[in-house]
């Protein structure tokens, strides 16, 4: 079992390799690890990320097959099937780090903002479900009269949505709550920057 802090260091190192490669820094990119094809599944981290095509978790963390247990859904929301997937991996494989990975300019968050402003807009029931998960996280921001800068509102909405998903993962599952209090499971929010390729982790204080 790989402790949460060690898992987090691996992800940070992997993201550095990815950024180096994206910037054409060949020397550092070559330090990236070789790929293997493991027969056993022993993921050291669980990633709940957005489906956005620009944010493939294994690539942005420079990880290979077997390394990450990845759940992707538009807007990195926590619906029952996402929660169940995290529970499955954490209890079955002993994975002790969960990352909720949002990203700048998330289209799902944008869609939620737009749906809240234009409730008469047509959308399917399934899409409305996703918006319904994001809405409570960003409602306060949208109703805050001090919030006048549109770009800033969007930026904050993405982060608020990540924070809300972190809270849901930590609170909505008895299994996960127990693993957090008794067994070193950590849940950390993070944001991938589409412009730089860098992942910013919101909680740097992961221990043991
Ligand atoms: Zn997104």
- Per-residue pLDDT tens digits for 174-203: 999 999 999 999 999 999 999 999 999 997
Q: In this prediction, what percent of the chain has a pLDDT beyond 90?
A: 79
Which band of pLDDT confidence, cut at 50, 70 and 90, is reported for residue 28? Answer: low
Say how many Å lie between the CA of residue 22 and the centre of ligand 1: 20
C-alpha span between 95 and 93 (Å, rounded): 5
Q: How many CB atoms lie within 10 A of CB 46?
A: 26
What is the Å distance from ligand 1's center to 52 Cα?
A: 5
Q: Which among 68, 79, 90, 100 has a CA at the least distance from the CA of 180?
A: 90
Q: Which residues are annotated as a binding site for Zn(2+)?
A: 50, 52, 103, 106
Laid out side by side, the sheet with 97-103 consists of: 68-72, 45-49, 97-103, 186-192, 199-201
The CATH code belonging to domain 4-29+41-201 is 3.40.1050.10
> Separation of 120 CA from ligand 1 center, angstroms?
23
What mean pLDDT value characterizes the chain? 92
Q: Report the percent of the chain where pLDDT is more than 70.
A: 93
What average pLDDT does this structure show over 23-42? Answer: 73
The whole-angstrom distance between residue 53's C-alpha and the CA centroid of its chain comes to: 14
State mean pLDDT over 150-161. Answer: 96
d(CA 79, CA 103): 19
Average pLDDT, stretch 77-97? 97
Ligand 1: centre distance to CA 105 (Å): 7
Ligand 1 mean position, distance from CA 102 (Å): 7
Domain ranges of the chain: 4-29+41-201
Q: How confident is the model at residue 31 (pLDDT cuts 50, 70, 90)?
A: low
- pLDDT for 23 equals 86
- Residue 208 is predicted with a pLDDT of 38
User: Is 142 exposed, middle or buried, given 0-12, 13-18 or 19+ CB atoms closer than 10 A?
Assistant: middle
Give 207's pLDDT tier (boundaries 50, 70, 90).
Answer: very low
Average pLDDT of 121-147?
A: 90
154 CA distance to ligand 1 centroid (A)? 12
Distance from Cα 69 to the centre of ligand 1, integer Å: 18
* Helical (H) or strand (E) element with 165: helix 150-171
pLDDT reported for residue 29: 58
Binding-site residues from annotation? 50, 52, 103, 106
Q: Of 12-21, 44-53, 137-146, 196-205, which range is least confident?
A: 196-205
């Amino acid at each position: 079992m790989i402790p949460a802090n060690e898992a987090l260091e691996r992800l940070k190192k992997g993201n550095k390799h990815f950024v180096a490669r994206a910037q054409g820094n060949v020397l550092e990119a070559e330090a990236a690890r070789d790929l293997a094809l493991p027969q056993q599944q022993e993921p050291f981290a669980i990633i709940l990320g957005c489906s956005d095509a620009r944010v493939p978790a294994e690539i942005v963390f420079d990880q290979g097959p077997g390394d990450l247990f990845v759940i992707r859904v538009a807007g990195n929301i926590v619906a029952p099937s996402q929660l169940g997937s995290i529970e499955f991996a954490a209890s079955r494989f002993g994975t002790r780090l969960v990352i909720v990975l949002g990203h700048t300019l998330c289209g799902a968050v944008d869609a939620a903002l737009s749906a809240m402003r234009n409730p008469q807009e047509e959308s399917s029931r399934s899409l409305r479900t996703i918006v319904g998960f994001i809405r409570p996280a960003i409602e306060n921001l949208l109703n805050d009269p001090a919030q006048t800068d549109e770009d800033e509102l969007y930026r904050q909405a993405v982060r608020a949505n990540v924070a809300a998903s972190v809270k849901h993962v930590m609170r909505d599952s008895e299994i996960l709550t127990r693993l957090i209090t008794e067994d070193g499971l950590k849940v950390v929010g993070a944001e991938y920057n589409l412009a730089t390729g860098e992942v910013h982790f919101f909680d740097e204080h992961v221990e043991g």
